Structure 1
Amino acid sequence: MTKLTFVLLCHIISLRLTCREPRGCQGGCLTCSDYNGCLSCKPRLFIFLERNGMRQMGVCLPSCPSGFYGTRSPDRNTCTKCRPECDSCFNKNLCMRCRAGYYLHLGKCQESCPESLVCSDTQGNVFPVKCPADCDACLINDTCTRCRPGLYLLLGKCHHVCPDEFQPNDKLMECSLQVHCAVGEWGEWSPCSRSGKTCGFKWGEETRTREVVQFPSAYGKLCPPIWEKKECVLKRRRCPGKYYNNYTGDHQ
């Protein structure tokens, strides 16, 4: 046997082991092997490679499964995997449905909702929303979530100047409610005294105070007086160890 005859014989045996006639293959296969399944498909079918342990098995399908898209060519039709964040796609650049945690917008899957758009957490879709002219971002019901520069946000609306009873927060660019000062009830009057003494003088003072319950914000109403005094008459009695002048009321 010549070397050429031996090579041809080996080639024929190899073909018989790896390829079969269509009637011996799975449905849809044009050629196949015991080890790799379908190697080519009948017209209009897509070949899809399934992983089976350490090897891949070819399967012929009328359409590609979820997560893959079909590519047709004169030689063969193949199933190609979509991008990792895409659950279903038309081609490599056009996603039809995103995986959980992503939002679909213009055929792309994004991790966060685009500006000025509303995202549906249940469906993973993005709905285009036309915000009011003074809004930078808004919800689907025209409720602003962020205003354009120089405007203040209050209850879903943008304002050039905050309304009455509200004050501007230039850091957050929001209108916040003004906080006015609040005080408690007056305390009891102190004993009548003068220079710290309750005797030896005719006239003295009584004082009383009250506490601040709520301090005001920057634009809130200021606190009223929390301390006051009034004149009073001291009891006419001698201070211990002092001579008392009944006429002047002063001690000597």
Structure 2
Amino acid sequence: HPNVSQGCQGGCATCSDYNGCLSCKPRLFFVLERIGMKQIGVCLSSCPSGYYGTRYPDINKCTKCKADCDTCFNKNFCTKCKSGFYLHLGKCLENCPEGLETNNHTMECISIVHCEASEWSPWSSCMKKGKTCGFKKGTETRVREIIQHPSAKGNLCPPTSETRKCAVQRKKCQKGER
């Protein structure tokens, strides 16, 4: 039978010598802690990691998160999964859904990011061995930049430069001209 003695630890409203707190003072959360074979009631201002709090009219309770979940917001919404699981929209999954990939650093399912390249630059002048004169057939080049590097499952990046043959009216190199 509960005794509301000085024996009650901080925050308890009612308690027993054997089971600790049986009920808490207003606004505190009631948690059952296992100590060996015994369960002891404790009253806390917020729920410990791995538990979520629910406020009922007569009691505020801490409930353990689901087995695959380390920290959660409520029964159905996990915020950090146990190791070996990936977090996706509050759920802990062993594999990410189709169209998503795993981020092994944050242990979350993330969108696949494909490579993105800029538009091509204009073609360069027709050149041969670094010169723009003294030849008829040469090559011209154009380049582009990678704007977005891909994630692990994303499409690979395309080449960033292209070269094609070109022909010009042969012109003699002037003195000192390249």
Which TM class, normalised by the smaller chain length? 0.5 to 0.7
> Which of residues 123, 147, 150 is equivalent to 1:142?
150
Change (3 A) 1:86 1:144: closer
The aligned runs of 1:1-150 (5 Å cut-off) are: 15=1, 18-21=2-5, 23-129=6-112, 131=114, 141-142=149-150, 145=153
Using structure 1 for the length normalisation, give the TM-score. 0.45
Unaligned 5+ runs, structure 1: 1-14, 133-139, 147-154, 159-252
Are the equivalent residues in 2 in contact too, given 1:30–1:41 (CA < 8 A)? yes
RMSD: 2.4
- CA offsets 1:162-198 (integer angstroms, 9 cap, x no match): xxxxxxxxxxxxxxxxxxxxxxxxxxxxxxxxxxxxx
1:156 aligns with 2:156: yes
Q: More strand per residue: 1 or 2?
A: 2
What whole-Å deviation, never above 9, does each CA across 1:20-48 have from its counterpart, x for those lacking one?
Answer: 24x43100100000100000001111111
Does the CA-based 8 Å contact 2:113-2:153 persist in structure 1? Answer: no
Larger radius of gyration: 1
Higher helix share: 1
Paired letter, 1:78: K
Amino-acid identity (%): 56
Gaps of 5+ in 2: 116-147, 159-178
Count of aligned positions:
126
